[in-house]
Amino acid sequence: MKYFFLVDGWHIGRVWEFGGLWNELTWKRRPEIQRMNLQIVEKGEPLWLYQVEDAVLMVEVLPDEGHPAPKNRQSIGQVVLKRLITAEQALERLNTD
């Protein structure tokens, strides 16, 4: 399994696997992506831990409609997570203050 953190007010868009964009017709299912009941707070914003199956290489995340831009940051429209993290890296992030 692989992991990533996602702030409230953002949602998952497109998902990539080794062959390119995830194709539900080919895989005969959606990618396995699950929000865990664990979070960290960074700069006052909760970041939720998500678990994804190993076949997932990259996940696009987008702000929810009407979600205000975070304080002291410009709205960037969309972000592509290029690097998912391992379980050990997720635990390390969860254990830091």
pLDDT of amino acid 87: 94
| Average pLDDT rounded to a whole number, residues 70-95 | 73
Please spell the DSSP secondary structure of 14-70, one letter per residue.
EEEETTEE--HHHHTS---EEEEEEEEEETTEEEEEEEE-TTEEEEEEEEPTTPPPP
Radius of gyration of the chain (CA): 14
pLDDT of amino acid 62: 86
pLDDT of amino acid 96: 82
Q: Is residue 89 helix, strand or coil?
A: helix
Query: Could you tell me the residue ranges of all domains in the chain?
Result: 2-94
| Average pLDDT rounded to a whole number, residues 45-57 | 94
Residue with tokens 């940051």: 73
pLDDT of amino acid 41: 92
Q: Is residue 90 helix, strand or coil?
A: helix
pLDDT of amino acid 83: 73
pLDDT tens-digit readout, 18-34: 999 999 999 999 999 99
Closest CA to 2 of 34, 44, 48, 41: 34
